[in-house]
Every structure is written in C-alpha cells, then in structure tokens.
Structure 1
C-alpha cells in the first residue's frame, strides 16, 4: 500500500515512475535518485511526493532501525534464530549500517549512496559464501522483498505462520459435513458425540454415496469435533449454546447516550428465589426493570408473579415519579444527603423533599424485546401518550439491549443470591430444600428491592468511567449529577388522568343497566343522561372509551366524550366480592365453571366462584397450613392466580380520587316482622342407661 513518509532521508528505497530508486542525496527541495541501472536523476520533492505510484518500500523496521517486539513470540526457537539472522544481514545490506548500531559508520561495500541495490545484493551473497553459507541471489532477493513487505515476520517460513484450524489433513468433505452437523445442533437438545458422529456419517452417505468418503477414526473424530465446535457448547448447555449463537459475528456496536433518559432499556426476568405469596404458596417471582443507558440508573423495578402489559406500562410511571423514603430506611439514603443536585431540583418538584436518592428520569426512547408485554397495545399507547419513542429490538437478539440484561444479572448475583430461598439458576445449582428456607413475602421482597436500588445508585459502576479519568469509576448518581447540569432536568408528574391513560382500553356502549365488560356490569349515576346515547367517537361512533385496571376490577373509567374528564363506574358486585380482585382471578374462575359443565355462566356464579378461589387461597394449604403449598391439593395455577391477585392489591400511585361505595342501609328493628315466634322444642340429652331399660 502506498505510504507517505514523515521523514525522507538518504538511503531510503522508493518506488517512482514504475521503478525502484535509492535516495542518494537531499538538497533543499531537490532529491537525487539512483535507479537499479545506476542512472541518476534529480526530482523536485513536491513532484516526487505527489506523483502517482510513489511509495517508500524501505520497511519500517529498516527505517526506524528498531526491531519489532513480540512479532516472533510463539514460533519455534530455530525459526526465530533464522529470522533474526536474516534480519541482521538484510538491514546491513539495505542501510549500510549494522542492526545493533543504527547510527554508526556506513560500511563502504553497502553504502546506498555509492552502490545500487543489485550491487549490494551481490556483495552480501559473496560475503555469505566467504563464511561458508551459500545463498543464491534469487533467494536473497526473495528474502529482501518479503522483509520489505512484512518486516521480520516475513523472514519466517510461511508454513509456521499459518494458523491451523485444528482439522489437519482430514478430508475437507468430512470437515464440512461435521460443521453442518454442529450448526444444526444449535437449536436441538444436547446429545453425545456418538450421535453427532452417526449424523455426520449419514450426511456423507446422502451427499456422496455409501463408502465414497473415508471416515475418520474414533480418536480423529473427537479431535475434529473439538476443533469445529470450539466455543459453541455443542456438548454442553443447550441454553448457553443458543445464547452464543445469537451473538453477532462482528464487533458489537456501541450506542452512546449524552443525557439522562435519552435511551432507556426495559426487560423482565424470573428471579432465582422462592418467596411466600399471600396464600402461603412458595413460588418464584418475576422482576421487570428499566435502566437508563447514560447513567446506568435502575429507574424502577417491580416484582410480580408474572409480567403483564399493564406492569410494563405502569413501570414507566414509577420511573417518572420520585421514590419516597420508607419507614426504617437509613437517613443517609435521602436525596438531600446524596450527590444529586437536590437543591436545584427542589424548585421543580416539591415531592423531592422526602424522596430517596434515586433520580427521576423521563424516558425519550425505550428499547425492549418483542415479548407480548412490550409489543402490546397497552404498552405502545403508554409510550405514545408520554411522548416516548418506542424502539423494539431485532427478533431474538438480546445484544440489542445489553445494559438491562447485565443489570438484571447484577441483581441476581448481588441481591438475590443473598436471600433465603435462593434456588440457583438451574436444578444442578439448587440446594436440598430451598422452599423450606423461603421466608420473605412478595411485598417484603419488593420493599427490600426498593431499598437495595438506592444503594445501587451510590455504588461505583465499572461502565461509568470517564475516558479522561479511566482510573475513577463513577456511581449512577454521580454520573447523573455530572450530566444533568448540561442536559437539564424537567420531571414529569403524572396526575390521575395520565394514570388512567396508561390503563388498557376498550370500547363499550352505555346501556340501561350500565356497561358490561368481561361479563361484569358497571354502573354510575353519571350515566343517566348518556344511556343508549351515541358517543360520536370510536370505531362505530356509538361506543364509549373505557379504561380498566386488570389488577383492580372494582371500577372502570369512562371517557366523557360529551364533556371533559372521566366517569368512574363501580362494579355491581362490589359489596359481595373481595376488592381489589384481579382480572386473572376472574378469568380463571370462568374457566373453572366452564369445565364443570355450567357454561354459559352467569355473572353471580362467576363472582361466587372467584370469592371461593380467594377464600381457599387465604386459608392456605388444605392438608397442613404450616406446610409449603407443594403438598396442597390445589393446582399450581390456582395458587399463582391467587398470589398474583394479592400481590397487586396495593394500588399504584397515583390513583384517581374515588368516592367510597354506598353501603347497604341497616334495617331497623321497627321495620322487622312482628309475627309470633314459634315454640322452642328442646332436645333431651341422650342417656344410654335409660335407653337400655326401655322395652321397645
């Protein structure tokens, strides 16, 4: 490749006008060149450097007279000694000076200013022959050319420099067939090497015919398999094998965020810990978290038995609201005592006065995978209403959101592993009885997680190193304080109406009895002028926009298309069923009744079945209340439905102000029936001796 030297000096070998020249002298802007035929010419320096095809062919190792370090490491000792021997002679031939004395006097027989390159080559060949080492001129010229192109490494036998793929001289058809078998094994269950060998043999027979390709021996096959499947976990964990296959073949890209909230990533993962749910069930829990790319802030995290779309939508609201201090938390966890710019932020939001040291971050772009909870209309609508750019990752590509993947892994190693009931990431890492160790409920674990997140914000993060100060790792709070001064900060306070906008949406008509949603009837006095009236909106112009909370089916919110605002409608069976009662429990009760042959089911039957389900959950296992629910006769789904309903019983902030439901009026004594009371017939006490004396 042509190069432009930083320093051109006498003795350099250059290519000019299609021929090799030696720089004989430099005077001002004129350069005296001598070609291989000893023909001299004078060229202006500017013309020489700008001419097409000009390059300095003198190798860098010769020009700088500094032997490269580490270029010959790992090669055989004899090959290294031979390369260094050639280097000493070639440097002396090309520069006229010994390799170990680059500033010493020039040897007369190798002076580039006097002798051409060919003359010097002939002199070196004669010198070597005089000491008993016969080297032909052709070999000398070949070594000189390789030295000029590749430096000292070019003086090593090319066969020693070739990196072997481990397959040796095995038939290429066998190697290609084995590679194809290993590639197909990526998404299949792990099998033994013998199974893979038989697949390779069958593939060779199908492509080339029986007996055409000679098969390797058993030992050779194992060596080939080790070389072909290196780093792919072909005989190891199937999960690790699939994960490695998802990595891109090239260098990972890097996205740089310059301000808090510019790019945030959201994801869910099951935690490797068993918790006690409200019904006494010992089961796993799932965490959904959102992390900021610029500051590595874990803005919010929620625990649920299983993640739904509404969880992801409400998580955005939690990230955009201050985290309040909880009773029992250390005073050092307050935002006012942290490195966060508390004083300047207080002027924007008074809620920060009692907030914990977790910054409030407004997302600009959300990166997520293509899970059902994130590509749902609920989550997309939440992002749209909050002005957040929704960016789904490529299918089955976790490397598109590596920061949340790493953060969730840190939660597992730094927090979850310290908890009682930790069950390990797989059965082979599981203890004898992790269910017997589980003592934390899902609510208690959520409180512990919230407190741990505050500590996470003050812990130095290795991914937050300043390029100008790589020795100092910043904490997420320190990085936020450094960026917020340049990026600015305007926290978004979500009000009741904004909270309702985050909830799932349906279109329903307002009938004389109210609104029926999922076999439940909701009614309100504010519906009176709107019953059987068209809304003028929606897909048909008659339906009304209804929002509901899947974790609290006690009420719904109907957009008043005639005026502004929302109408709160209460469930008709609010006084007969425990509230809040989740959508999951309601749907599960409907399926139970359908299986019993009572489909279509009535609304009253569904309500009573849901009540019975939660009552059984509250009573604990039927066999032994103190025993883990693994011995209960209830199904696993029954326990998870009840646990999910109880786990989400605490309403998320902020909730719209709700009027308390009207209680049934007590019946006075005067209004009761004054009819005569019936005679009380007492029952005698059974006496066995008297009964034995009677004659029947």
Structure 2
C-alpha cells in the first residue's frame, strides 16, 4: 500500500472531525490553499493555508487501513464460530473503507461502496442496510463505525465478541480500593500480626476520613468489605502467612534476573540465623547457637561460624579468614575429603601455596565484594573499615529484602534439610513443626556439634549443586570443588597469608583517649610500656577529635591493640594477672551488672576484678550457681576464645586449628621458660576440667574446633 499523502481525495483528521481534500489552489511560491469537505457529507466546507494546516497540532493524515496478519494465537482461544464471524466482519469493514472486500484491494467495487462517488458516511449506512437485509440483528451505522475503530486498533481480534463480566474490584469504590492497597502494603512491610477484618474495616474508614473528609467516602457493609479485602489481597499477592506477606511486600520490582558471578570471590553473600538445633551449652543449660555463613555465588562454596546468639565483628573476622585460609584435615576424617584426592589440581596449587599440602578439599578464595543485610554487625563502620583494609567492597541490601541475597538465604534451608534435621534436638523451622519433648533427647554439646559442622562443610563441597553448570556440560550439575577447579585456569590462584595486623584490622574498633592511666573503656584499664610518650597526646586524627584507634576482641578482653605511628601494638589489661582463668565479654558484662559501684573508678575496677576471679573459680569448681550464672558460663564456654595469631598464618606450623581457621593457636616455644610443664598446676585448682576451658578429655581437647 502507498504511504498517505496530501492529495485530492486524501482523508485527514482536523480537530475531532474527518475531512476529505477537495482541492489544492495556488503554488508553492505564492502559497497553497487547501479545500476540505466534511467526510460525513453534511456540506461543511473549510479552506486553510498549507503552512497553517501543517503547523497545526490538531491536523493529521488518516492512513488507509493497513494489512494485518490475523492473531492466530488469540483467535485459537475462541470457538470456530466466533473466528468465522470475525473474519467475515473483516471483509465487510474493508469493503466500507476501500470499496473492495478482498485483502489485496483489487477487484470491482459496488456502486454503493465506491470511494470515488460516495462518502464514508454513505458507505457505512449502506453496509448497515445490507447486513440488516441479510438478517443481522441490531446493526446500524454506529455499529459499523465501531467495527472500523476496533479493526483499526486490534485487527481481526478486535472484531471478536468478548463478553467479560466486571470484577469485584471494578464494582468497588476506587478510593476504598486505594485505601486498602495502601494499608495492606504498610502492614506487610511492618510485619504486623494479622488481625480481624473488622479492625481493617475501621482503619480503612479512618484513612478515608483523613484523606477525603469525615464520612465523605464510606466503606461498604461488613460482608461486602470482607470479600473486597480478600480480592485486594489476592491482587497484591499478600495472601498467606505474615512471613509470606512480608517477603512479597519487600520483593523488588520485576523483572528478576539471576545474579551472575564469573570469578571465585567476585560476589560473596553473608547472613546470620539461629540454628534450629538445641545443644547443651554447659551444666545442663540448653540453648541454640547462631550460625553466620558466607556463600560464594560463583562456586556455591559455603563457610560458617557457630556462636551463641548475637554475632560479633570477631565472627565476621573469623569467617573472612576461613575463606582465605586452607582448612587442615582433622583426625578421623576420610582421606576422600582431602584436597589431594579431589578434582582440584592439588600438586600445582601446592607448588604455589605450601599451606595446601595437608588441606581439606575446600575452595580458598579472596572475597572481592560481600553482600550483607542491615544487621548491626555487618553495616558497622568497623566492618567497612576492616574490609576496605583488605580490599573488600561491602554492599548492603535494602532492609527486609531477603531476595536480594537469595543464595545465602536458600543455603539456610539446605543446612536444615541436610544437617539440622538429622540431629537430636531439632526444633523445626517454626513452632508449629516443633516436637513437645525435644528437650528430653540426647542433646549434643557445642564442641561435638562444632566438630560435625566442620566436617559437614567439607562434605558440602563434594555435593552436586543444581545451580552450577559448565558451558560444555550443561546437563550435569557440578560440585563447588569441581566449579572451583574449572574456574582456576581462568582466574588463577594467589595465596593471601594473613598476618597479625590483618587479623587485628578485622576486630571491632573504637576510638579512645590515651590518658595518664592508660586506655579505659568498659570498666577496664589497659596500659603498657609501648604507650610511654603517648599519654595525654593527640593522635592527629581530626575526624575523631584526636582519639586513638583501638581494636579489641570480645572473646578475649585481657588485651587490646592500639594503632601507634609505628603500627599496631598489643596493650594488656593491668589486672590480667589477678584473674586466674580466661573469660569472655559475657562474663564481664554479668559481673558489671551485679557489682554495685561504691567508690572511685579505680576502686570499682578492683572490686570487679575480685568478683570476676571469685566467679570464675566457683564455675571451675562446679559450685552451685544460679540459673543466670549458669547461662552466662554456658555462653562464655560456647563462645570460646578466638586468639590473634602471632605472625603469618601457616597451617604447617600450627598443631591445633580453631573454628576451621589455621593458625589461631600459635605453637609454643619449647625453650620459653614461661611455658608451663604438663605437670604444673597453674591455678592451684583441683585436677578437673574447667567448664569454661574445655568439656573434653585431654586427648580430644587438642582438636577443639
């Protein structure tokens, strides 16, 4: 078909009426005038200058009906009778508009449909009369005009009779529907408990009164409102439990695309959750541990740290160190779990990094970007600073947005199905799935669970993952170790040994003054000869008002690390020798709560030290403790101590790894006179295991995770 142009007989739209070009007068040089005749044949005549007509936004050419391919997919959804009727109507519409019912526009035109001698209005009326004579019911000129409009907009599909009843949302007052949409989304995002529908009805009326005036818009009767509420919930996808509603409401807007990572460590997701298993913390105290995990998107490798409830920055430090440090094979583990027996090119990697010689088959990566939620420990300034010092970018996700880190969220379900549900004391994912007598089962201790967890993580990397596919083997699911081995030739492997300063950078940080007495915080005073010359001095950091950068370990409060001009220096607690046993922040915080201050700061700190030592000795002798004290001791023991390694982390020189991190315990120097002999009674206590130090036999204690 030819393109529409401004010529005699052409149809055009001006304003809300259709016109036909009746004549062109003048030339381009002297100015052309266009004569227009109303297409409906009412005798209206208009004359415009060509420049004026073309410059008017109300002017547009009416294109002739274009050929359209029938929408066969849509037509297949209706009956054959409706299809034939629509194709028949197409021929009638084309005859009205072009004079010829054939799609190619060829063939003689009937006199009553000849565009050269009749107007469009006359042809529409002629078609209505023709169809009425053939027995069509209710066909008028307006009917034919509607057919033309539908055909021009939607082709043959527009001529199909579509009878669709109105929905409940269509019949409801639009402002009531708007109020329900707003209130339901607010409740879902706030994770508010479900209430009765009568409460929502009152809240909707209050919302309408605030926006439109009192009683201007009224909610429908209760029965109608309840049905409308269900319909709006369904339209928003907010049916189901409160958890499901919150997840759908916080979900980002579509379209959803898979997270793509092509290098190990390119994108690592971190998160914490309570472990759905009851364990014995100490002396019969039962509790649940908190699991902090990291999942590498490229290889689906997973690392995890088990701690009492409440993640600390130290746990994040241990987790990051686990990723960058090989895991040493443990006694009793199958040789099939070693890296030498895996698909990883072990010999070539050992030539680059000797730490992998006796390592278990688990990827060793350097994280580039970690994705975290809005947890306090993850988004703290200390976490950002520690990660920046290692060249790791921190990417927080929006609040309450689990799908943004779906890989690590999904891994919790796998941990439940592959690990937790097989253990005694499994609590289920919610209260409705919990047994009534799980506290009577033979629960495991923290050390036993930690040992099994470390072995489970190695098994995890030998298990095929449905999300790992190789381009050359798309039908085969790979294991994390296989994917790591496939990516190593592309990305390479660079060993990253952690030094003492690296580990200190990962510890929590606070800014303190160095006073004449030393560094004070948390009712503890730290001082050392290395601070001589800095007492009362300004650090020069203007953003922190001259305070000094101090890193501390919550699980080992007897020492801190201060960044001095020459680097990090360890500073001990001045009362460290007055306390006979190790302790954690759980114990110290408990002592600070129960001991009332009666004197100066120095006197109060001395009283705290005495109370702490008495408490630790009572716990070591297993004397009778209150329920609160037993729980404090259990938490302290379950936390354990995460010590800072001396020098670079080297698995070849370390006899006992901790939490899967080689080098946490430095090997003692046999020539050091300060190292006690095996027969020495260090604390002058009975020869019985301390509930804070260990709950295993001496033979097993060296393999404490």
What TM-score results when the alignment is normalised by the length of structure 1? 0.72
Shift of the 538–429 alpha-carbon distance from structure 1 to 2, 3 Å rule, reads: farther
1:654 aligns with 2:663: yes
Which sits farther off after the overlay, 134-143 or 250-259? 134-143
| Shift in Å, 1:311 | 1.2
Residues 219-618 of structure 1: matches in 2 within 5 Å? 219-230=223-234, 237-252=241-256, 254-437=258-441, 439-465=443-469, 471-505=475-509, 518-520=522-524, 527=529, 530=532, 537=539, 539=541, 546-557=550-561, 561=565, 566-567=569-570, 569=572, 572-574=575-577, 576-579=579-582, 581-594=583-596, 602-614=604-616
Choose the corresponding residue for 1:634, options 608, 628, 631. 628
Contact 1:302 1:315 in 2 (8 A): no
| Shift in Å, 1:119 | 6.2
1:61 aligns with 2:69: yes
Distance, in Å, in 1 between the alignment partners of 2:228 and 2:184 is 11
Shift of the 191–71 alpha-carbon distance from structure 1 to 2, 3 Å rule, reads: farther
- Cα RMSD between the aligned structures? 4.5
Secondary structure of residue in 2 paired with 1:464: strand
Distance, in Å, in 1 between the alignment partners of 2:109 and 2:394 is 69
Deviation per CA, 1:241-288, whole angstroms, max 9, x where unpaired? 333221223323554222111121211111222111134321111111
Contact 1:558 1:569 in 2 (8 A): no
Shift of the 380–387 alpha-carbon distance from structure 1 to 2, 3 Å rule, reads: same
| Shift in Å, 1:205 | 5.3
* Counterpart residue number, 1:10: none
Distance, in Å, in 1 between the alignment partners of 2:8 and 2:369 is 59
| Shift in Å, 1:558 | 5.0
1:17 aligns with 2:17: no
Contact 1:508 1:545 in 2 (8 A): yes
Contact 1:281 1:643 in 2 (8 A): no
Deviation per CA, 1:555-601, whole angstroms, max 9, x where unpaired? 44455645x6745647643363212x212321321121028999875
| Shift in Å, 1:313 | 2.2
Contact 1:279 1:617 in 2 (8 A): no
Secondary structure of residue in 1 paired with 2:273: strand
Secondary structure of residue in 2 paired with 1:294: coil
| Shift in Å, 1:457 | 2.0
Secondary structure of residue in 2 paired with 1:272: strand
Secondary structure of residue in 2 paired with 1:323: coil
Shift of the 529–181 alpha-carbon distance from structure 1 to 2, 3 Å rule, reads: closer
Shift of the 238–565 alpha-carbon distance from structure 1 to 2, 3 Å rule, reads: closer
Shift of the 618–275 alpha-carbon distance from structure 1 to 2, 3 Å rule, reads: farther
Secondary structure of residue in 2 paired with 1:347: helix
Deviation per CA, 1:103-124, whole angstroms, max 9, x where unpaired? xxxx997763335696699999
Secondary structure of residue in 2 paired with 1:112: coil
Shift of the 464–147 alpha-carbon distance from structure 1 to 2, 3 Å rule, reads: farther
Contact 2:514 2:534 in 1 (8 A): yes
Contact 1:516 1:522 in 2 (8 A): yes
Deviation per CA, 1:76-114, whole angstroms, max 9, x where unpaired? x6xx45531233325667999xxxxxxxxxx99776333
| Shift in Å, 1:359 | 0.7
Which sits farther off after the overlay, 151-160 or 87-96? 87-96
Deviation per CA, 1:404-442, whole angstroms, max 9, x where unpaired? 222233323332222221112332222102222261222
Residues 171-186 of structure 1: matches in 2 within 5 Å? 171-186=173-188
Shift of the 160–328 alpha-carbon distance from structure 1 to 2, 3 Å rule, reads: same
Distance, in Å, in 2 between the alignment partners of 1:313 and 1:197 is 50
Shift of the 584–169 alpha-carbon distance from structure 1 to 2, 3 Å rule, reads: same
Secondary structure of residue in 1 paired with 2:576: coil
Contact 1:553 1:571 in 2 (8 A): no
| Shift in Å, 1:297 | 1.7
Distance, in Å, in 2 between the alignment partners of 1:92 and 1:469 is 54
Deviation per CA, 1:447-466, whole angstroms, max 9, x where unpaired? 22222222222333233345
Deviation per CA, 1:508-561, whole angstroms, max 9, x where unpaired? 78889876664445566xx28946668885549998765432212344445564
Distance, in Å, in 1 between the alignment partners of 2:618 and 2:67 is 85
| Shift in Å, 1:372 | 1.5
Distance, in Å, in 1 between the alignment partners of 2:89 and 2:473 is 45
Secondary structure of residue in 2 paired with 1:312: helix
Deviation per CA, 1:30-65, whole angstroms, max 9, x where unpaired? xxxxxx99xxxxxxxxxxxxxx99999645534xxx
Distance, in Å, in 2 between the alignment partners of 1:59 and 1:536 is 83
| Shift in Å, 1:373 | 0.7
* Counterpart residue number, 1:678: none
Q: How many residues align?
A: 593
Contact 1:232 1:241 in 2 (8 A): no
Which sits farther off after the overlay, 644-653 or 401-410? 644-653
Secondary structure of residue in 1 paired with 2:458: helix
* Counterpart residue number, 1:40: none
Structure 1 unaligned spans of 5+: 1-12, 22-35, 38-51, 97-106, 624-631, 666-696
Contact 1:324 1:354 in 2 (8 A): yes
Contact 2:270 2:294 in 1 (8 A): yes
Distance, in Å, in 1 between the alignment partners of 2:503 and 2:215 is 72
Contact 1:264 1:367 in 2 (8 A): yes
* Counterpart residue number, 2:680: none
Which sits farther off after the overlay, 457-466 or 131-140? 131-140
What TM-score results when the alignment is normalised by the length of structure 2? 0.71
Distance, in Å, in 2 between the alignment partners of 1:132 and 1:571 is 108
1:83 aligns with 2:82: yes
Structure 2 unaligned spans of 5+: 10-19, 22-59, 116-122, 644-657, 678-705
Distance, in Å, in 2 between the alignment partners of 1:56 and 1:356 is 75
Deviation per CA, 1:674-694, whole angstroms, max 9, x where unpaired? xxxxxxxxxxxxxxxxxxxxx
Residues 89-100 of structure 1: matches in 2 within 5 Å? 89=88
* Counterpart residue number, 1:112: 105
Distance, in Å, in 2 between the alignment partners of 1:71 and 1:470 is 37
Contact 1:290 1:301 in 2 (8 A): no
Distance, in Å, in 1 between the alignment partners of 2:314 and 2:673 is 25
